[in-house]
Amino acid sequence: MLRSSDVCVVVPCHNEVEHIFYLVQEIRGLGFPIIVINDGSTDPTRSMAEKSGATVLNHPRARGKGAAIQTGLQHVLDSGYRFAILMDGDQQHSPRDLAAFMEVSEDCKLVIGNRMNPNRSMPWLRRIVNKWMSNRLSNLTGFPLPDSQCGYRRIELETWKRLNLQTTHFEAESEMACEFVRATCYPIFIPIEVIYKKEKSKIRPIADSRRWFSWYFRYSRNWRHSTPATVRCSSSLSEIQ
């Protein structure tokens, strides 16, 4: 089991003033260091995150969730941590599940939360879209990715830094999952609690769907012709099953 001193929680967020203080307080109460990346918020998210006791990295203008993730992970790596746990800033992810991420062997380079259990309360349209996207990526990679879009995940940073990750918006989570598979660093999925409230999603259905499809078609065309990262984590699928 990992120690909390090996791990830093990274929270990319944009306009989450209603949630970020309480999220940070709960995570800190569990003994985890936490970094918040304020991605060009136009509300007091930055000051509220600072007030809560988090280390805050600031993007003066919004650059996208993927860019915020890159900023946070690089900072955590440079600070000497071995692992990062990504969480969304809207309190959709429960800090109570941090213990489950910590229990997975450190040999696993990527651990992703799975919200697709039918007993979990994901809105039906989001469930259908996520399942469709995850099926496309599973077929592409030849590895089952039941919830490729989930932002709650544990990342081994030395492996992450060797991957050729380029996306800067919501498609970043899909790209990351695929690139870990390409490097034979097969992710493990663990069930997590998911908390959906009445707040409007930050995803813009038309613009972000268009961007995801553009990324997917471009990425799938290059999948078999590009060179994987120089990381070899496992020699066969059977080693993680």
| Residue 239 counted as domain residue | no
The partner residues of 38 in beta bridges, in order of sequence, read 13, 58
Residue 39 lies in a domain: yes
Summarize pLDDT for 48-105 with one digit per residue, the tens. Answer: 999 999 999 999 999 999 999 999 999 999 999 999 999 999 999 999 999 999 999 9
Residue 240 belongs to some domain of the structure: no
Compute the average pLDDT of residues 145-151.
94
What pTM does this model have?
0.89
Residue 241 lies in a domain: no
- The answer to whether position 238 is within a domain reads no
In a domain, 63, yes or no: yes
Alpha-carbon separation of residue 24 from 21, 33, 35, 81, 158 (angstroms): 5, 9, 9, 19, 25
pLDDT at 121: 64
How many domains is the chain built from?
Answer: 1
205 or 45: whose pLDDT is higher? 45
**What Å distances lie between residue 9 and 48, 95, 131, CA to CA?**
17, 10, 27
Query: What per-residue confidence (pLDDT) applies to 240?
Result: 39
Looking at residue 125, which CATH number applies to its domain?
Answer: 3.90.550.10
51 Cβ neighbours under 8 A, 6+ residues apart: 21
123-152: average pLDDT: 90
pLDDT, one tens digit per residue, over 179-215 is 999 999 999 999 998 887 655 555 656 676 788 889 9
Q: Within a domain: residue 55?
A: yes
Mean pLDDT (whole number) for 108-120: 84
Separation of alpha carbons 192 and 94, rounded Å: 8
Q: Is residue 87 part of a domain?
A: yes
Q: What is the mean pLDDT of the chain?
A: 88
What does the pLDDT read at residue 120?
A: 57
